[in-house]
A and B are shown apart, each in its own frame.
Chain A
Amino acid sequence: MPKNNRYFRIMIDPKLLRGSLDTIILKLLDEHGEMYGYEITQKVKEITAGEIKLTEGALYPALHRLEGKGILTTEMRSIGNRMRKYYRLTESGQEEVVQKLSAMDEFIKSIQLILNPKIA
């Protein structure tokens, strides 16, 4: 069993992440304006000091799903010898961010009430 000390790091259970993936993507795009897929994976890794690693197999389907819903829009740009696809929020995407963040905040508070009733 991994421990949270200087030699072992508790990695976050991917099952916990599954429901939060859209919120993470939307929040990052809200903060950074536009990002490409690889950049999102690296930013998440950097912010969480490697605690959360977004897998490519989960990230791209999520980006495509959000694009299909009209929450994200894309733009292709040339970067030397290849093309790069940038994602950014649409107008409805910006509204979605507010809703998702508020829902996530409520969820975290409720979980804390269950896990740490004394502190909460």
Chain B
Amino acid sequence: MQNLSHNTGSPEDERRVRVGLVTDVGHIDDGTFNQYAYEGLRRAATELGLEYTYIETVRPEDHEVNLLILIEEQCGLIITVGNGLGKVVERVAKEHPDVDFVTVDFVVQPPLSNVLSLVFAEDQAGFLAGALAGCITRSNIVGVVAGETVPPVLRFRKGFARGARYVNPKVRVLSEHVESFNDPDKGRSIALSFVERGADVIFGAGGRTGSGAIRGAAEAGAWVIGVDQDEWFTTFERGRAPGSDRLVSSAIKRVDIAVENAVRDWAAGRFKGKSNWLGSLRNGGVGLAPFHAAENVVSQEIRARLNEVTIRLRDGALQTRIGPAGEDQLETLWDRLRVWDWGELAVLVLAVCTALLIGAVVIWVTRAADLRGAGLPWSQVIQEANALVVSAYGGLYEGAIGSPRALAGSLIYCTPYVMAGLAVALGFQCGLFNIGVEGQLYMGALCATVVGFSITGLPIYVHLPLAVAAGALGGAVWGAIPGALKAITGAHEVINTIMMNYIAVKTVDYLVKNPLKDVTATLDRTPFVAESARFPLLVPQLNIHSAVLLAFAAIGLVWYFLFKTTWGFEIRTVGANPSAARYAGISVKRSFVLAMALSGMLAGMGGLDVVLGRPSEYALKAAFSTGFGFDGIAVAMLAKSHPLGVFPAAFLWGALRNGAGLMQVRAQAISIDLVNIIQGLVIMFIAADQIIRWLYRLRARGEKAVVFTRGWGR
């Protein structure tokens, strides 16, 4: 396009070859990137015989006016220096598509076809400067005096901190931003305060503010590192300024080369709008300046180390992990999900689907056999059997989640499953098979009930938590006993928890029928708990009670405990590899007792949320549990022992149970036990997942040949 324009009319021609530059606040000889950009422009323009001009911005508010002046002056290419001008360019460039722009240190969003952005990997330069600082510091404290909180400065600052810590893990990095690039005095005073706090290397990253900082620090005897360009020539006046022997190096950005090349390309008609040019170690766009007067401080060893870091950064073997906006780029969610074993999840889903499918076959076959026995023709048999499958599963679906009432029922149904499932899962995480959840559930319910009916006259916000605490404690103690027995004597928890189940169930049975029996009741049950010890109903017409919230909270808390706390880490480590846990200094015995106590506590809470939550209960009956504790084992297995998996698993369990009633109503010919068959099949398929893997040709995990990384040299 530019080539063509040379041949058209002369005003057009003139307009096209003029190049203008607007500085960030500052001058074209201020020793910052303003100067460098200007020098790049001057070199290119002189050589190519281009006419060029510039405007020095005095106040940030003038950016736009300055730009418009240059456009008015018929500039065909305008170079803008600094992040501060970026937003203005974004607007102006859109309105003047015939003018090309080169932005230094700013990327326009969205990209425009007449804007080329020059950006730099300041994080790499900063990283190298940090590595240097980390090598030469004696006090292990270094400081950064940074300019405005804009991406390039953030990248310098964070890169510096990472680099310093990379070579020297013991190093402490002090840092502070000054919200101006033109406040040398402020920079200086911060630098001096850093020196006072023990920093012996100061990195000034922020225009004149930074320069003020390093001059101040250098005069105070600290080592200093400059920024953007080799500050030995600028800030320290070619070594003539005081303290110049303290300048170790500078983290430089070759703005001059970048601008020079951009101008050349533009003049030659190769202007590439809508793109970014990134100056990095790879293309020499960033780097470290010579050591100058500090030549002797930087030993051969340090140079070798820096060289190694440079090469690794350049080749990508080492990453600064700092994003374009200066954000920390740790692992993203995607990075984590990628290493997940999705096959596991597929097995679970397929196990459930397969179980439902087999359930359907069972219905079909039983019905078909019946009808054939009655002598009906095949066509009718098939039709009827099909119809029965549809009505049975239709009923199951409707009864489980088909209406708000059904959904509410399933939700209420699933709360004890959630708690029992969490209890078993927590045990599994520690490598313990807590079969005693049923017993712990009974003890929890018993303790909570006793507190619930024997105390009266308390407000609900005291009485209910008290009852819950009593129940939790009861379950915890009941769980801790087999845990302690295992830790002390090595007695296997499976045996002991089974025994403890009998004790708990029979104890409750005795108490409920004798000393604690409500004499006014015909049924064997305790007195009703006080109103103040009941979970308030959230949606009274659907009987949704607030213990549901307790279950959700428990899922979150167990997850947090297991994955975010040191105790959880210990428990999981013991579960995953007890030998390694011992090696790592973790007390395996303590983890056993803790995990069993917490497991029992969760189980106890599962028991109390039935008696204190369900309006149909509100008192303890002899056989109040329909085997929640044992179903908890199934739920935990289906959840793969992960707390977040417990909810879907428990809901599936609750929904199947809840929907079974309507299923039987709709399809008279089949028994409610079909649900048990389906549940049983799900568990069988999960326990023996090879069946599912074989059925669906899923590859088993842990195959020896699947090694993601191997070898060494390359």
Q: Do A and B come from one complex?
A: no
Which of A's residues lie within 8 Å of B, judged by CB? none
